[in-house]
Amino acid sequence: MKRTTVSIVVVAIVTTLVSSCAIPDSGEVSAIDPDDIPYELDATTTAAPTTTVAPTTTSPMAASTTSTSTTVPVEVVDLFFVAGTQLVPISRLLLSPAVAPQVIAALAEGVPQGDAAAGLRTALPADFVATVVVARGVATVDLPASFITNLPGAEQRLAIAQIVLTMTRRAGVGQVTFTTESRAQSVPRGRGDLTEPGGAVACDDYANLLPAGYSC
């Protein structure tokens, strides 16, 4: 009798559950309260984050440039200029080897720019052009005719001193002689006396025009 009672109860429970899960015969859709939906069914699907990788642009390697440098040989040359009643040397760089015509051309260009040359001047005329030839330790300078005719005596002495002191500072030059248009020329020495035509002069002949403590 007890077994029959239990079976009836189980059948009744199953029948009730099946009835509650079935679609109603009326065909109407019943809304279900969200609170009654199990968590597993109501879980929001989350898309996996998408990572965008930007393409990497590699700049082409800059073309290598090869620079070449050329070393120009130069040397220091002393050029003499007038400071009051004296002559002082100013150093200047010239292309090496600095030959005699190159040196006298640099002297004719006048006082270089710069603080070291402040207060200096040249006794050579602005249009001074001369040729020079060195042979056996003697530099022969051919002067233009205007040098003798247009330049006062005192300026001639200083100008000749500039040339002699500058030229005798060069290796291989010990004396200087002068010509005018290839004719032997007399020139003033440092104390004002004249040489014989074509007479050679040296640094010692103008030592009295050098600053104190400066010797030939």
Q: State the Cα–Cα distance between residues 169 and 86, nearest whole angstrom.
A: 17
Q: What is the mean pLDDT of the chain?
A: 80
Please report whether residue 111 resides in a domain: yes
- Answer with the residue of higher pLDDT: 176 or 45: 176
**Closest by alpha carbon to 193, among 201, 184, 181?**
201
Please report whether residue 188 resides in a domain: yes
Give me the residues paired with residue 92 across strands: 77
CB 159 within 8 A of CB 124: yes
CB 202 within 8 A of CB 139: no
Cis peptide before 188 (omega within 30 of 0): no
Q: State the Cα–Cα distance between residues 167 and 138, nearest whole angstrom.
A: 10
Number of domains present in the structure of the chain: 1
Please report whether residue 79 resides in a domain: yes
Return the percentage of the chain with pLDDT > 70, whole number. Answer: 69
31: confidence class by pLDDT, cuts 50, 70, 90:
low
Please report whether residue 11 resides in a domain: no
Q: Give Cβ neighbours of residue 130 (< 8 Å, ≥ 6 apart).
A: 104, 108, 141, 142, 143, 144, 147, 163
Please report whether residue 67 resides in a domain: no
Say what the pLDDT of residue 115 is: 76
Please report whether residue 18 resides in a domain: no
- Which residue's structure tokens are 């292309």? 95
- Strand order from edge to edge, sheet including 175-180: 131-135, 138-143, 175-180, 183-184
CB 160 within 8 A of CB 178: yes
User: Tens digits of per-residue pLDDT, 173-214?
Assistant: 999 999 999 999 999 999 999 999 999 999 999 999 999 988
- Answer with the residue of higher pLDDT: 150 or 7: 150
- Find the domain containing 123 and state its range: 74-209
Other CB atoms within 10 Å distance of the CB of residue 13? 10
Please report whether residue 110 resides in a domain: yes
Say what the pLDDT of residue 15 is: 43
Instruction: Report the predicted TM-score, pTM, of the whole model to 2 decimal places.
Output: 0.68
Please report whether residue 180 resides in a domain: yes
